[in-house]
Amino acid sequence: MPLLSSDYNPPFLFRIGHFSTVYSGLIRKIDGVIQKRERIHLPDGDFLDLDWSFSQKQSHKVMILLHGLEGNAQRPYIIGSAKQANNHGYDACAVNFRSCSGEPNTLYRSYHSGATEDLDAIVEHILNSKKYDEIYIKGFSLGGNLSLKYIGESQNVPQEIKGVVAISVPCSLHSSLIQLLQPKNYLYAKRFKDHLKAKMREKQQLFPSKISDADINNVKTLKDFDDIYTSKAHGFKDAIDYYQQCSSLQFLPNITIPTLIINAANDSFLGPECYPYKEADANKSLYLEVPNYGGHVGFYGKQNITYTERRVIKFFNEV
């Protein structure tokens, strides 16, 4: 589909990419959402924690919410999305990726940008509950990439999945990494790296023969983490191989489910290859919206309802 025009025009401060990113990630607060945790067991013996919230009226529609790197189901962008889903007749299944729910996962592996086997297990769990005949997926950043890869890599996507929205998506993981390693993103990259190294130390306690002190000390950048841990723990040759295999960009031409990508033009995390103009133009099921503002998952809205929270409900109701 052609590029969609955007009417997102926030107040002045929220036109500043870094301000909107930090506000939405660290300052924004959401109340009024009650979550109920469910633990599901995965085919490989590990587990995932799902945090559910529900519409006031019994619903046959569920929205799966997928967080970004080192996020969880309690982040404001997830809670805000769940609240709007519930207020508009959708139950919400907010996913905590492996090791992101407050408890380390049991295996040496963890989560990553292309781990669609976990999303598939969640979808199968929901279908087996027999409660829902319409499933919608909303993913942010890493979770957005995972969503797009999931619906693009397989010809057997369940027919119950009716729509997908991916927000602030690093469609090219390597292109995004190049941006994250630039000085403008130093504080973000350091924060991510520190969190990931802390999880490496947790893994070292559980698997001391697989992670040495030298491994942890050698993680100077996010790419180092992917070279030393992500690639080795998940069957890739190195970081570049991981980025190549798991970037959603290559899967976009195969998408047949109505799908909307919203990537802000001033998102400092995204490189040029993360804006799939050509792919959207060639695929009638793929919509691309590139607002001038928004930072990284930093869209603002009145009444503490973000632009993308309203936009997603409208898109899903229309498909």
Distances (CA, A) of 88 to 4, 132, 228: 24, 15, 44
| Both structure tokens of 246 | 């798991």
Angle, CA 119 vertex, CA 72 and CA 205 arms, to 5°? 55
Would you say residue 1 lies in a domain? no
Is residue 174 predicted with pLDDT exceeding 90? Answer: yes
131 CB neighbour count, 10 Å cutoff: 12
Q: pTM to 2 decimals? A: 0.97
**Amino acid 67: pLDDT:** 98
Domain boundary among 246, 267, 282: 246
**Amino acid 3: pLDDT:** 84
Domain boundary among 205, 230, 246: 246
Cα dihedral value 276, 111, 94, 279, nearest 10: 10
For residues 158 and 299, state if they share a domain.
yes
Domain boundary among 199, 218, 246: 246
Would you say residue 6 lies in a domain? no
| Both structure tokens of 108 | 């040496």
Domain total in the chain: 2
For residues 161 and 98, state if they share a domain.
yes
For residues 25 and 53, state if they share a domain.
yes
**Nearest residue to 105 (alpha-carbon basis) of 116, 122, 124, 118:** 118
**Amino acid 177: pLDDT:** 98
For residues 204 and 221, state if they share a domain.
yes
HSE-CB of 35 using CA atoms within 13 angstroms? 27
Would you say residue 5 lies in a domain? no
Going by pLDDT thresholds of 50, 70 and 90, the confidence category of residue 42 is very high
pLDDT single digits (tens) 57-69 = 999 999 999 999 9
Residues contacting 180, CB < 8 A, separation 6+: 188, 189, 192, 222, 269
**Amino acid 294: pLDDT:** 98
pLDDT single digits (tens) 123-168 = 999 999 999 999 999 999 999 999 999 999 988 899 999 999 999 9
Would you say residue 2 lies in a domain? no
**Amino acid 217: pLDDT:** 97
Domain that holds residue 166: 12-172+249-318
For residues 158 and 279, state if they share a domain.
yes
Section 48-55 average pLDDT:
98
For residues 126 and 273, state if they share a domain.
yes
For residues 179 and 168, state if they share a domain.
no
Would you say residue 271 lies in a domain? yes
For residues 160 and 238, state if they share a domain.
no
Report the distance separating Cα 289 and Cα 300, nearest Å: 16
Average pLDDT, rounded, for the chain: 97
Would you say residue 139 lies in a domain? yes
For residues 125 and 19, state if they share a domain.
yes
